[in-house]
């Protein structure tokens, strides 16, 4: 089988290997176990230096068909991107023509172009992984809503299985509820109950961007410290808001209470989750947030916004907390747990049991079903 992946993910070549964002590659490596040849249509970075959050593809017959990056965040980048579109569309069309199976990674600009090109190949087998928020009631960019409409349109998009996070009413026969995973069955180890009597370890894991609202997490921890609670925040991730967070830490004398660790690999984060009591997750937009699933896997209780399928993941509040993204309601939720240890332990246990059903082994067992016709 000639398996073609159309993706906006930025790729790198390093030491004879092809690298990209680790959670994405870890998932794709499972798919690639079942295909003969792989062609990836995606942007290729000129900088070949890999970071702790990059990992290589694992396949003997893989090649990348590099295309330019495009973005429409300003008039200048939009004009430049428009000139690149004919080249990208040609490369995608050519790859799809040779493909036995077309795999689209959405949402994204390249995924959108792939969604349009796939219309020309109604008889070819296809899958689309929609890694964003499929909630039909959520506010999203027009391009994202268009991709969702096109993917679930059974007249324009044929012979496809669209894998989405969560189970939604507004759907079609194209759409299949799905999940993702980070750990294998062999990685399951017992986690001891965590006491709330001593220092409370709080986590933020994710990109330091406005959409993830890391500063809000820091402000919550400051409020808890002002209320004389023994709390420490560890922040894992990098992004454009790092300097804003550093300035806030310095201004409010939080150096002993908040630590910025930068990007770390999966093995480091496993230990971090096991030592933490809470994950604060105030993201504005998500698909299936791995940080939440991973935290639950190691008895770290999430306090999250009601975004995407997170309410479903948290059992609508039975195995975690769903709050508004403001300081006071988050602090109030903390105080509920600090005053009721049994409630905390009960929710942690439910979250722990739920998350351990979603392993890479379970994920891998499902993948072959999507590589064959209906």
One domain for residues 26 and 111: yes
- Shared domain for 171 and 225, answered yes or no, is no
**What are 302-351's pLDDT values in tens digits?**
999 999 999 999 999 999 999 999 999 999 999 999 999 999 999 999 99
pLDDT digits (tens, 9 = 90+) for 123-133: 999 999 999 99
Full 3-state SS string of 145-177: HHHHHHHHCCCCCCCEEEEEECCCCCCCCCEEE
255: pLDDT strictly greater than 70: yes
Rounded mean pLDDT of 206-223? Answer: 97
Split into its structural domains, the chain has a count of: 2
The stretch 91-106 carries a mean pLDDT of 98
Q: Look at 120 and 46; give whichever has higher pLDDT.
A: 120
Stretch (H or E) spanning 23: helix 22-32
Alpha-carbon distance of 207 to 289, in angstroms, equals 12
pLDDT at 351: 98
Distance CA 295, CA 281 (A): 11
Q: What's the CA gap between 232 and 276, in Å, rounded? A: 10
Query: Do 170 and 194 fall into the same domain?
Result: no
108 plus 244 within the same structural domain:
no
Q: Which helix (H) or strand (E) holds 98?
A: helix 75-98
pLDDT band at 251 (very low <50, low <70, confident <90, very high): very high
Return the pLDDT at 285: 87
Do 159 and 247 lie in one domain? The reply is: no
Instruction: Tell me the residue range of the domain where 275 lies.
Output: 186-355
Query: What six digits make up the tokens of 84?
Result: 């690149």
For residues 225 and 329, membership in a common domain is answered with: yes
Looking at every residue in the chain, the average pLDDT score rounds to 95
Residues 158 and 199 grouped into a single domain: no
- In this structure, the answer to whether residues 70 and 116 fall within a common structural domain is yes
Q: Which of 88, 80, 98 is nearest to 44 (CA)?
A: 88
Q: What is the mean pLDDT of residues 130-151?
A: 93
371's tokens: 């590589």
Whether pLDDT at 278 is above 80: yes
pLDDT of residue 374: 58
- Domain identity same for 223 and 295: yes
Same domain, yes or no: 235 and 123: no
Classify residue 199 by its DSSP letter: P
* CATH (domain of 57): 3.40.50.2000
Q: How far, in Å, CA of 193 to CA of 198, rounded? A: 13
Give the model's confidence band at 137: pLDDT under 50 very low, under 70 low, under 90 confident, else very high: confident
Q: pTM of the predicted model, to two decimals?
A: 0.90
Note whether 281 and 347 are same-domain residues: yes
Query: What span, in angstroms and rounded, lies between the C-alpha atoms of 125 and 110?
Result: 19
Closest CA to 145 of 165, 130, 161: 130
177 and 192 both lie in a single domain: no
């Amino acid at each position: 089988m000639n398996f073609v992946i159309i993706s906006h993910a930025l790729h790198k070549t390093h030491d004879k290997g092809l690298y990209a964002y680790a959670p994405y590659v870890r998932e794709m490596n499972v798919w690639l176990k079942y295909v003969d040849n792989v062609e990836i249509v995606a942007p290729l970075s000129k900088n070949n230096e890999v970071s702790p959050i990059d990992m290589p593809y694992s396949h003997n017959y893989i090649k990348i068909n590099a295309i330019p990056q495009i973005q429409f965040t300003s008039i200048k980048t939009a004009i430049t991107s428009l000139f690149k579109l004919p080249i990208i569309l040609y490369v995608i069309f050519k790859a799809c023509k040779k493909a036995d199976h077309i795999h689209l990674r959405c949402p994204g600009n390249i995924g959108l172009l792939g969604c349009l090109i796939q219309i020309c190949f109604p008889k070819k087998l296809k899958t689309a992984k929609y890694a964003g928020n499929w909630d039909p009631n959520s506010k999203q960019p027009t391009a994202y809503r268009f991709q969702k409409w096109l993917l679930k349109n059974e007249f324009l998009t044929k012979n496809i299985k669209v894998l989405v996070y969560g189970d939604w009413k507004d759907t079609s026969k194209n759409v299949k509820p799905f999940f993702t995973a980070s750990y294998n069955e062999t990685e399951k180890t017992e986690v001891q109950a965590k006491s709330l009597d001593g220092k409370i370890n709080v986590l933020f894991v994710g990109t330091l961007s406005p959409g993830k609202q890391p500063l809000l997490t820091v402000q919550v921890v400051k409020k808890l410290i002002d209320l004389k609670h023994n709390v420490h925040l560890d922040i894992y991730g990098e992004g454009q808001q790092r300097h804003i967070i550093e300035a806030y830490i310095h201004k409010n004398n939080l150096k002993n209470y908040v630590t910025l660790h930068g990007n770390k690999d999966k093995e480091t984060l496993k230990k971090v989750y096991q030592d933490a009591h809470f994950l604060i997750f105030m993201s504005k937009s998500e698909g299936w947030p791995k940080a939440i699933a991973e935290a639950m896997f190691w008895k770290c209780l999430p306090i999250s916004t009601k975004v995407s399928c997170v309410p479903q993941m948290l059992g609508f509040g039975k195995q975690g907390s769903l709050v508004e993204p403001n300081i006071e309601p988050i602090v109030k939720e903390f105080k509920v747990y600090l005053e009721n240890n049994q409630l905390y332990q009960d929710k942690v246990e439910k979250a722990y049991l739920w998350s351990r059903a979603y392993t890479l082994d379970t994920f891998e067992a499902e993948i072959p079903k999507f590589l064959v016709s209906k």
